[in-house]
């Protein structure tokens, strides 16, 4: 099929590439000329396992093209995806300016029947706004072109995006048009072969499904962080509790890891946006509000542990920080807990030596040159001259360090483990002090 994708970020680029991989002719449009120019030279703007090879192969085979020319891209697609950003507005609700700008562009250029598919995470009612925007532009130029608007929220996880896209566990399609649903089924047939993954529903339910999924996952995390904070006050180990509750199949083991708070481009903004949507409809979403508040507090947790250990004397100290990305296998630092920690350490007059396997370039872009930050190219070099180690992201390469070497490298033998990846007894046996999240009495 002929597919057009607006936006070459995490969602647009991965979606376009996976659709090309199964034989479709894909044109990806972005307003970021440098990104498009890079993609045409084979420079992939994000780190995502497996993505680079797939983009290069499909680009080489002529199945995917990158352009800034929206007019030709719209002329190409029988299916046109909108996969642009929906960042938080000043009041936390989703900012639809990019989605509606694409809708205007489509309306200004559409010359033949098309299915417009919204993949961006958008508040309930946005498909109606997109439909009205396209229709208004068509009316302005007196064009009578049939089109449908479908909601097809994206559930890929950064770090696993290609895998999730090639083997989705569900494909939510919101539409009231049988012909649009048929087109979507045809497009997704290669991903839907061994069992039915398409969950068809009305547009509004599809839009809410995405927010409900992210809000549920964020709730699980904040719930566990709440339990961890109780655990450390009562002298319990949250990791024991985690195993104890996860074994109940009604609860399950996934997504119940306590830690230094969730980040990323989705959970924080989506929980906030859903809470604002509820409020706009006269409903006070108490759970969502609490999920957000618990997470905001949790992002300060590592700094609190550090400040308490060093009795507030942080000026002039140096901290080795392992992990800057908001989670492993990505270079994405949007809303990452590391950013809260670094800001607090700098505010207290401390220096940071940080290592992240993929996010150094992004950190450089965000923080620029500063005297109190050294970006190190290895975990070991981050330890040089450091007082203590703080683990913020649970990259696999940090899971099994040599604790004797760690002890020898650090001026103060102490580890702050923001993701509970170490066994306290093992760390302590090497002569290091250990702080985790909710692991026995620290308060």
We find the least distance from the C-beta atom of residue 307 to ligand NAD, in angstroms, to be 32
> Does 83 contact ligand NAD by CB under 6 A?
yes
Token pair belonging to 194:
């061994």
Stretch that binds ligand NAD, among 49-57, 150-158, 233-241, 392-400 (CB under 6 A): 150-158
In angstroms, the CA 253 to CA 278 distance is 30
Could you say which residues in the range 91-110 bind ligand NAD, by CB under 6 A?
98, 101-102
State which of residues 79, 156, 241, 375 lies at the interface with ligand NAD (CB under 6 A): 156
Task: Give the dihedral sign, CA 176/180/181/182.
Answer: positive
158 is in an annotated binding site: yes
- State the nearest-atom distance from the C-beta of 393 to ligand NAD, in Å: 16
Under the criterion CB under 6 A, does residue 213 sit at the interface with ligand NAD? no
Binding track, positions 14-53, relative to ligand NAD; x by CB under 6 A: ---------------xxxx--x------------------
Q: Where are the beta strands (DSSP E) in 313-381?
A: 318-322, 351-355, 373-375
Does 287 sit near ligand NAD (CB under 6 A)?
Answer: no
Task: Please choose, from the candidates 372, 357, 358, 353, the residue with its C-alpha nearest in 3D space to the C-alpha of residue 410.
Answer: 353
Q: What is the C-alpha separation between 401 and 399, in angstroms, rounded?
A: 6
Indicate which single residue of 3, 11, 55, 306 sits in contact with ligand NAD (rule: CB under 6 A): 11
Q: Which stretch binds ligand NAD (CB under 6 A): 77-85, 178-186, 247-255, 401-409?
A: 77-85
Does position 85 bind ligand NAD by CB under 6 A? yes
Query: Which phi and psi angles does 57 have, rounded to 5°?
Result: -65, -45
**What number of chain residues touch ligand NAD (CB under 6 A)?**
26
In the numeric block, which tokens belong to residue 177? 């048009």
Question: Which position among 48, 148, 158, 356 is part of the footprint of ligand NAD (CB under 6 A)?
Answer: 158
Please give the backbone phi and psi of residue 348, each rounded to the nearest 5 degrees, phi first: -85, 0
State which of residues 84, 138, 288, 388 lies at the interface with ligand NAD (CB under 6 A): 84
Output DSSP code: residue 310. Answer: T
Q: Does residue 86 touch ligand NAD according to CB under 6 A?
A: yes
Cβ–Cβ under 8 Å, residues 64 and 36: no
Compute the least distance from the CB of residue 6 to ligand NAD, in Å.
4
Q: Kindly tell me which of 173 and 241 has the beta carbon lying closer to ligand NAD.
A: 173
Strands of the 433-435 sheet, one edge to the other: 373-375, 351-355, 318-322, 388-391, 414-417, 433-435
Of 5-13, 56-64, 253-261, 294-302, the window that binds ligand NAD (rule: CB under 6 A) is 5-13
30 has binding-site annotation: yes
| 3-state class (DSSP) for residue 118 | strand
Residues with Cβ < 8 Å from 218, sequence gap 6 or more? Answer: 262, 267, 270, 271, 291, 295
Active-site residue, selected from the candidate residues 18, 28, 165, 266: 266
259 in a labelled binding site: yes
| Strand arrangement, sheet containing 79-82 | 64-67, 25-29, 2-6, 79-82, 114-118, 147-151, 171-174, 198-201
375: helix, strand or coil: strand
Between 152 and 351, name the residue whose CB sits nearer to ligand NAD. 152
Q: Which of residues 108-127 bind ligand NAD (CB under 6 A)?
A: 120-121
Burial annotation 65-90 (CB, 10 A radius, 16+ → b, else e): bbbeebeebbbbbebbbbbbbbebee
What residue has token string 């990104």? 35
* 266 annotated active-site: yes
411 is in an annotated binding site: no
Residue ranges of the binding site for NAD(+): 30, 35, 86, 121, 158, 269, 334
Residue ranges of the binding site: 30, 35, 86, 121, 155-158, 210, 255-259, 263, 269, 327, 334
Active-site residue numbers? Answer: 266
Residue ranges of the binding site for substrate: 155-158, 210, 255-259, 263, 327
Residues that bind ligand NAD in the complex, under the rule CB under 6 A: 6-12, 29-32, 35, 83-86, 98, 101-102, 120-121, 154, 156, 158, 265-266
């Amino acid at each position: 099929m002929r597919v057009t994708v607006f936006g070459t970020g995490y969602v647009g680029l991965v979606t376009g590439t996976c659709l090309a991989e199964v034989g479709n002719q894909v044109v990806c449009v972005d307003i970021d000329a440098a990104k498009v120019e890079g993609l045409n030279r084979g420079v992939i703007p994000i780190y995502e396992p497996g993505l680079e090879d797939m983009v290069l192969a499909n680009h080489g085979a002529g199945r995917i093209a990158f352009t800034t020319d929206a007019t030709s891209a719209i002329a190409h697609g029988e299916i046109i995806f909108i996969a642009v950003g929906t960042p938080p507005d000043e009041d936390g609700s989703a900012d639809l300016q990019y989605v509606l700008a694409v809708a205007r562009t489509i309306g200004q250029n559409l010359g033949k029947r098309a299915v417009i598919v919204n993949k961006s995470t958008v508040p309930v009612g946005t498909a109606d706004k997109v439909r009205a925007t396209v229709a208004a532009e068509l009316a302005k130029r007196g064009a009578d072109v049939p089109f449908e608007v479908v909601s097809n929220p994206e559930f890929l996880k950064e770090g696993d995006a290609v895998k999730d896209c090639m083997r989705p566990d569900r494909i939510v399609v919101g539409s009231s048009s049988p012909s649009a649903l048929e087109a979507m089924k045809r497009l997704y047939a290669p991903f839907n072969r061994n069992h039915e993954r398409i969950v068809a529903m009305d547009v509004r339910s599809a839009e809410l499904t995405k927010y409900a999924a992210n809000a549920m996952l964020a709730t699980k995390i904040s719930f566990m962080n709440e339990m961890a904070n109780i655990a450390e006050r009562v002298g319990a180990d949250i990791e024991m509790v985690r195993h104890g509750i996860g074994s109940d199949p009604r609860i399950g083991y996934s997504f119940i890891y306590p830690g230094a708070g969730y980040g990323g481009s989705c959970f924080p903004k989506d929980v906030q946006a859903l809470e604002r949507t509820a409020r706009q409809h006269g409903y006070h979403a108490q759970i969502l509000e609490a999920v957000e508040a618990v997470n905001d507090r949790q992002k300060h947790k590592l700094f609190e542990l550090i400040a308490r250990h060093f009795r507030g004397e942080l000026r002039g100290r140096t901290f080795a920080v392992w992990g800057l990305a908001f989670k492993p296998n990505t270079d994405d630092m949007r809303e990452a807990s590391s950013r809260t920690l670094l800001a607090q350490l700098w505010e207290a007059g401390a220096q940071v030596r940080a290592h992240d396997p993929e996010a150094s370039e992004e950190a450089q872009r965000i923080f620029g040159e500063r005297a109190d930050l050294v970006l190190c190219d290895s975990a070991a070099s981050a330890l040089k001259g450091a007082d203590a180690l703080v683990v913020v992201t649970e990259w696999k390469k940090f899971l099994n360090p040599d604790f004797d070497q760690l002890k020898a490298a650090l001026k103060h033998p102490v580890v702050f483990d923001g993701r509970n990846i170490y066994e306290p007894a093992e760390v302590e046996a090497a002569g290091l002090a250990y702080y985790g999240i909710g692991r026995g009495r620290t308060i």
